[in-house]
């Protein structure tokens, strides 16, 4: 892969966009993101960090939109990114987006597919599609509402204005603000810590929360019950119970 770097350190995978200068998203980038996400589905990978430097991703390559207008493809690029974000979102393990610089449009939508977002002090995030006469096409009208609430999501999507790092944390769009030179190291350290946890159970909890969100309570509880049943007899579950009874720290293996 040339536009997306995929590396592994222990049980942690790092997916890093590599399309200078601003990591604009294109069809080629989308293809490699799909490949990297598929690699991260390996059960041996127990946590994932996604990033891009000096900018996470400053949105889609607008020249691609112009070409789509010319050949009648419309929003196909956004729909393709939505598929990638959804696949990344469904990874059954903890994921962190480490956001340097700009995460705009499709870049923010990609970051919202992660479980957690860490932002550099100088980061700017937003959904500026409205300024092009279009709307987000990869989840920006849906995931943003879930994270920041309807009123703030309306303001961001209607105006296209950017949000700084501190405000991103204040409104629930990000979890941590870090100095730029410490951001990726901290994300990788935290991912390594997550990788020692009961990642099968984390994946099950993640699925239950994602799939149960917005459903009537009975349907949501059925989703939870199925997820619970799926992890109850795992090796990690048996280890967790045994460690509790034996008053020791559990050693989870993601099995």
The verdict on whether 16 is a catalytic residue reads: no
* C-beta separation of 58 from 24 below 8 A: yes
Nearest to 155 by CA among 184, 181, 177, 126: 126
Nearest-10 Cα torsion for 24, 25, 28, 33: 120
Contacts of 217 (CB under 8 A, 6+ apart): none
The verdict on whether 215 is a catalytic residue reads: no
Rounded Cα distance between 255 and 241, Å, is 14
Catalytic one of 41, 109, 224, 246: 109
Catalytic one of 16, 32, 89, 129: 129
Contacts of 171 (CB under 8 A, 6+ apart): 148, 149, 152, 163
DSSP category for residue 52: E
Annotated catalytic residues are 109, 129
């Amino acid at each position: 892969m040339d536009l997306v770097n995929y590396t592994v350190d222990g049980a942690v995978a790092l997916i890093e966009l590599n399309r200078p200068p601003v990591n604009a998203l294109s069809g080629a980038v989308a293809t490699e993101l799909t490949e990297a996400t598929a690699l991260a589905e390996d059960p041996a990978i127990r946590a994932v960090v996604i990033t891009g430097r000096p900018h996470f991703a400053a949105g889609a390559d607008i020249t691609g939109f112009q070409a789509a207008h010319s050949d009648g493809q419309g929003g196909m690029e956004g729909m393709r990114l939505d598929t990638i974000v959804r696949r990344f979102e469904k990874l059954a393990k903890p994921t962190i987006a480490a956001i340097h610089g700009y995460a705009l449009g499709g870049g923010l939508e990609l970051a919202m597919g992660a479980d957690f977002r860490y932002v550099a002090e100088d980061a700017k995030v937003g959904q500026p599609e409205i300024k092009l006469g279009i709307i987000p096409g990869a989840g920006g009208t849906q995931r943003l509402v879930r994270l920041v609430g309807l009123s703030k999501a309306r303001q961001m999507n209607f105006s296209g204005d950017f949000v700084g790092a501190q405000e991103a944390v204040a409104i629930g769009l990000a979890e941590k603000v870090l100095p730029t030179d410490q951001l990726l190291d901290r994300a990788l350290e935290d991912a390594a810590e997550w990788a020692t946890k009961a990642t099968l159970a984390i994946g099950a909890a993640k699925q239950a929360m994602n799939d149960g969100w917005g459903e009537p309570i009975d349907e949501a509880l059925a989703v939870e019950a199925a997820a619970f049943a799926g992890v109850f007899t795992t090796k990690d579950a048996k280890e967790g119970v045994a460690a509790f009874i034996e008053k020791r720290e559990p050693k989870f293996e993601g099995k």
